[in-house]
Structure 1
Amino acid sequence: MSPVAPPSPFVATHLDLIRRGGHVLDLACGNGRNTRLLLEHGFRVTAVDINMEGIRDLEGHSQLTSLALDMETPGDPWPISRHVTTPLDGIVVTNYLHRPQFPYIATSLKPSGGLLIYETFMAGNEQYGKPSNPRFLLQQDELTEAFADLSILAFEQGYREAPSPAIVQSLCARAS
């Protein structure tokens, strides 16, 4: 297994806004950089990715449920609903974008308190590398528009120097 990158600084900064000990979904968890952070902070985590190889070393962790799911299967925009049947205290999404999921993400949060932390690439990132396909790049203010029904607590967009140069949008929002 390759070394695990450090967690997203934006996620780390806003993590304490999620109900202590709550149930958090790490969508498109990849190598588990944010899953590990969530577990270290005492959350119950459901980690979802098409391939669970990146978190194989976490198998057996009492607070972790891992789900190998293709989140982009035509006709099934939110397969998580077959596995997670109660509203979530938090949802973390980093470096992943599949717009048909936006409404499902919002409605999967616990009313009056569920927290969304979403960070991914936006238009302009082409100059720094992948992703460069417009399908995988947010447009200006797209996250605030997509999640306008949530209370926006923090929003950033533009150039990010670390961990590597990129153009990103970062949103932290609470269900009200």
Structure 2
Amino acid sequence: MRKSLTAVLIGAATLAGCATDSPLQRGDKAGLQTLESMLADADRAAAAGQHDKSQAVLKAAAASYPAEKAPWLQMAQTRFDRANYSEAIVQAQEVLQRDPADKQAHSIIAVSGLRLSTRSLAELSQQSNLGGSVRSEAQELARMLRTTLGEDVLVPVAGANKAPRKVAPPIKLPVPRSAPNPSTAADPFGALK
């Protein structure tokens, strides 16, 4: 009797365990509400200045919903806003694994990469170590960026006045000379009558 009671209890526990739904096993609607609440919690933590807590909540959301791009995108944007560009790039790449056409992730990667490059080039130029193939490659990349963006200067100096654009002087056409008409010499409006 004791063995059958134990078997019944084990069977009931097994069935009870199978009947419990995790958010991933329930319908998408219930799961998305939970994801949305996690994202809202992360937003509230960030607004309160608790950035570590916000990142922890977003990481938990990404672990609970591995197919969703939203937690990764929010982590990438937060890292970008806090000027942590290398981590922003890594997290934006996670977004692109889930949605290769996400424009915000592409933008985060592009701008973060440019800011990291600008920072590194500035440090190299201060050390006067930018030379050879690195220098020529940097110049070529800068030329390509200027052409792509349609700008003469990639990073304008703060407070510097823009140089005035050179404008060609107006062309002066010669005025045709004709002999004055004696009837209109005294009256300039005589020719209009």
TM range (shorter): under 0.3
Question: Structure 2 length as normaliser, TM-score?
Answer: 0.22
**If you compute each CA radius of gyration, which structure gives the higher value, 1 or 2?**
2
Structure ranking higher in helix proportion: 2
Structure ranking higher in strand proportion: 1
Question: Structure 1 length as normaliser, TM-score?
Answer: 0.24
